[in-house]
Amino acid sequence: MRLVPERINTEWIGTLTDADLIDVEARLHTKFALLERREKTRRGASYQLCCSSPETMAAWDRWSRVLTATRGRSLNPRRVK
């Protein structure tokens, strides 16, 4: 399990193996999904991602950077069902 730095950038992503990238993407997605569920519960029908808390937006940013790299390598993110 790779440690995820505070600031995710393409240089760091480039050091990841495909397996590491999939693992990191899954962990970041889990964290973002948890924060997003909390926001949706709190805001209800008025929920909008762009108006979420800074913590939720930061989690989305980190996850989306890694997801983009995952897709760029033609990898399939894994999701717990």
Domain ranges of the chain: 10-72
How far is 81 from 69, CA to CA, in rounded Å? Answer: 23
Given this model, what pLDDT does residue 81 score? 62
Q: In the structure, what pLDDT confidence band is assigned to residue 80 with cuts at 50, 70 and 90?
A: low
Q: 18-46 pLDDT, tens per residue? A: 999 999 999 999 999 999 999 999 999 99
